[in-house]
A and B are shown apart, each in its own frame.
Chain A
């Protein structure tokens, strides 16, 4: 069987309740059922997860690295978007 017949899946693991699923890698698998099992075997061997999502890699639309500057550069000069200009009263503690 040629490699091209086994699709690639992106794996997202949620480590604990209340946290979001986080991308952790990818697996090859023939279909979604096998992809979930492969993800379980590859990425949760040390108790990393309580929930797994798998998504066909082909279903992901990614931004073009060529457009990096126009996408992300404009935000760099807008420091006022960070809420760093406030004095936080001591009673509030760590935010």
Chain B
């Protein structure tokens, strides 16, 4: 896209595409995970709330895939990028693809991801890339609600009944190995940061901690240090969970290639 190359001259289309796909895959995969709750939530109110958030995420993914397709310049549209790549070509963070587990696990995962994305979107609102600044301005409002909604649940389950506390603590334990990957930095993130397109994820940890800390304090939860973090999602190395997810996500486009409705 002409606007992108003129406003961000120091980055290649290839690098920008790589960055956009990471962000888009995070949102598509997590959005799909959340949508799996539709019809299965513990109460009707949450049966609407979770798909609401899922639709926000998938909407953000669409904007990013469309842009990635244009920057890439190979004539792939959003559907082709989203639905017919192979597993190793998806570059989402591992946290996004983790199974839903119970409601506490899903809410904590949502809270973590939103706490990671909010400072990222906020910084991208003043991106040198106008297209991304526009996407960020819309997404920033949506993610603020995700933090509020998921955060309130983390507090209520963490500081709730004996069982809800036990489940929320188990979720903190289970998700701990997937937090550090969010803040990884590599050639792509550094190039994008250097061009003023988006901050390097490694600089976002303090903002994440500032969001998570007070909620944990109110919930009576303690941060769990993990001896080693899981990594590899940004290079396309995934857990087995993603294969099953993609089998379902891609089914229609694989069975009826190019179909629309």
Residues of A within 8 A of B (CB): 1, 6, 27-31, 33-34, 37-38, 40-42, 45
Contacts and interface: CB of A to CB of B under 8 A. Distances in A.
A41 B161 contact: no
Contacts of B145: 40
Nearest to A9: B45
5 A-B pairs closest in CB distance: A38-B45, A41-B49, A41-B48, A42-B48, A27-B45
B96 to A, nearest CB: 22
Nearest to B155: A33
Nearest to B45: A38
Nearest to A6: B43
A42 B152 contact: no
Contacts, number: 30
A79 to B, nearest CB: 44
Interface string B45-84: 1101100100000000000000000000000000000000
Interface in B156-174: 156, 161
Nearest to B153: A34
Contact of B161 (A1, A28, A33): A1
B43 A41 contact: no
B88 interface: no
A29 B45 contact: yes
A28 B46 CA distance: 10
